[in-house]
A and B are shown apart, each in its own frame.
Chain A
Amino acid sequence: MADTDVARRPGAAKDDEPAAGHAPHEGGNAHQEGIYVYCIIEFGERRTFGPVGIGTKGDAYTINYKDLAAVVSDVPLVVYDPTRENVLAHEHVNELVMEEFTVLPMSFGTVFRTREDIVELLRSTYDALKDVLQKMKGKIEFGLKVNWDKLQVLAEIEATSEEIRRLKEEIENSRSSSTYFARMQLGRLVDSALSARADEYVEEIYRALRDVAVASRSNKPIGENMIMNAAFLVDRDRADAFDRSVNEVAKGYEGKLHFKYTGPWPPYNFVNIRLKLERARED
């Protein structure tokens, strides 16, 4: 169901290929080892998740403290750029772990120097982690990006608005060069008509999914044809209902709006994680 291109990834970059665009950060030291953390789960035993993860040769595995576990892999201690390949690798591990566990996803690019630091992290935040994982049980996230064809909508607006048509004619027929204000006015009218139309669509889509979602987040649209970039929190046992509703809505707008529907994801948009360093101090 996820349209994430993850399948394209399998260990694509060979070591001897100069991998353009995802070279290790010069600031880091590639000879030192670090441990990359993907997520935290509730699990009291050690296990591995196979050879997945960011630029790894080994397996993703757990570092445990009591009944909590961080899912990690060994990596060179460098700074990881959020390239497509790296981000997909990060997401892929979380997707895999999510098939069996409730996942508290870490931010992309979280690398620790030692295993002890990670155990200490789990120990010092144990209660809060247990609490949050409990709350997240059975909750998953879906992404919904909606694009339109701006030119097509523009043509529709021009065809239906008397005022816009009149202004356009006025500008086209005017022989004088003093069309400045008419053009300004036209631009404003078109802009507000476009955003009113977008708002209308977006509200209709939210309304249609209200009953099958727990909560939503609206993120900034990407690119100029996107009118909606939303994340929905859904109860896992209502995922099928959400699925059906999204497909219904998408069908209703066929030919007008293009829906990009992804997931299920761990609830990235509904969890706040802030990592704070404690001052280096011997105590």
Chain B
Amino acid sequence: MLIVDDLLCWWPLKGVLWLTSQLKDVAEKAATDEQPVLQAILENEVALEDGRVDEATYAERQQALMGELRRIRELRQRLAAEAAAAAAAAAGGGPGAPVPAPGQPISGKAKLEVDVDFEGYGKGA
């Protein structure tokens, strides 16, 4: 946070607040991205199938990865709840429907948006 501290001396406060909120967004995005963990889970599965890791190593890694996934999803859930509450407060009513974090039990009215995409073929698709 050295840079932020330095800037603090002469930046208008508004700018600093903007910057910190941007930095917070970036940090949250990285901390709530579950794709790398999901990819690591798949890689662990494939490593076991291919015999590159033994059962014990596989189980140990899986346990660590599941823990990490839970941590990310709990954080996402919390941030989503905060954001929804903030949006509701700002709009003074019940705005857009929140998307439940994966794996969370669903209660109350839920809606599905479904569509199929049968287009696209080849390397880029």
Measured CB to CB, the residues of A under 8 A from B are 20-21, 25, 27-28, 34, 77-84, 104, 107-114, 117, 120-121, 124-125, 128-129, 132, 135-136, 139, 199, 202-203, 206, 210, 213-218, 220, 222-223, 226, 233, 267, 270-281
Contact = CB atoms under 8 A, between A and B. Distances in A.
A273 B50 CA distance: 32
Contact of A277 (B102, B106, B113, B123): B106
Contacts of A107: 102
A39 to B, nearest CB: 12
27 contacts: A21-B59, A21-B62, A25-B103, A28-B105, A79-B104, A80-B103, A108-B102, A110-B106, A114-B107, A117-B108, A121-B111, A206-B123, A210-B122, A215-B118, A217-B120, A218-B124, A233-B118, A270-B116, A270-B118, A271-B116, A272-B115, A274-B99, A274-B113, A277-B98, A277-B100, A278-B97, A279-B95
Interface of B: 38-39, 41-43, 45-47, 50, 59, 62-63, 66, 69-70, 73-74, 88, 94-95, 97-100, 102-125
A215 B124 CA distance: 12
Contacts of B73: 79
B45 A84 contact: yes
Nearest to B70: A25
B117 to A, nearest CB: 6
Given A34-B105, A271-B114, A277-B109, A222 B39 contact: yes
